[in-house]
A and B are shown apart, each in its own frame.
Chain A
Amino acid sequence: NAGVTQTPKFQVLKTGQSMTLQCAQDMNHNSMYWYRQDPGMGLRLIYYSASEGTTDKGEVPNGYNVSRLNKREFSLRLESAAPSQTSVYFCASSENTGSFYGYTFGSGTRLTVV
């Protein structure tokens, strides 16, 4: 089925370790996003990519980097994980930015940093 695929689904890291969260979409969408979800705070935008070759910071970018590898793939990297980065991470895509069409979300990555 068409959609957004995220890997891994679960991950436990030690403080200071690094990792990359992978995201791929097969809907030919131009725009892709990384959100984190924390209890009582809804979803907050970390980074987004309006189109292939561009990336921009969102609301909470500190401690993260991203790469838009091609039109399909958008990865999120934690260079030195901290306990404050324990969260559920969602990748999403949309036809274009501006929220006109709503987003399609992946099923999430639950990350715990100990």
Chain B
Amino acid sequence: AQSVTQPDIHITVSEGASLELRCNYSYGATPYLFWYVQSPGQGLQLLLKYFSGDTLVQGIKGFEAEFKRSQSSFNLRKPSVHWSDAAEYFCAVGPYNNNDMRFGAGTRLTVKP
């Protein structure tokens, strides 16, 4: 069973518009949550992570994410998207079996001029 769900396979936004990418997970306790970004032909780069404490976390490149325990969600947001944000975004949850991180299927972001 999929442990991490990213409901949107592909999202298109206009440059300058706001962005929200959804992530839902199933986990027995408080998880460690991550967002990664993958530019074409590149590996994954960590954008931000949540372990505990403040449920709103700030990351690199102007991204933020909010952990909502009641909704089992960890959505990624950005107030104003730039063309360089076009990439694929992965949500990840762990640990499983003390060593594994499970990834969602990814959301591909297209930015229109």
Contact = CB atoms under 8 A, between A and B. Distances in A.
Interface of A: 4, 31, 35, 40-45, 48, 50, 56, 58-59, 90, 92, 97-100, 102-108
Contacts of B49: 102
B43 A50 contact: no
Interface of B: 4, 9, 32, 34, 36, 41-46, 49, 51, 90, 92, 94-95, 98-106
A48 B96 CA distance: 13
Contact of A42 (B41, B45, B90): B90
A105 B45 contact: yes
Q: Which of B36, B43, B51, B95 has the most CB of A within 10 A?
A: B43
11 contacts: A41-B105, A42-B104, A42-B105, A43-B90, A45-B100, A98-B99, A99-B95, A99-B99, A99-B100, A103-B46, A107-B43
A108 B98 CA distance: 25
A86 to B, nearest CB: 17
B105 A48 contact: no
Given A50-B99, A105-B45, A100 B104 contact: no
Nearest 3 Cβ contacts at the A-B interface: A105-B43, A99-B94, A42-B103
Contacts of B95: 97-100
Nearest to B43: A105
A4 B43 contact: yes
Contacts of A31: 99
Contacts of A103: 44, 46, 101
Nearest to A91: B43
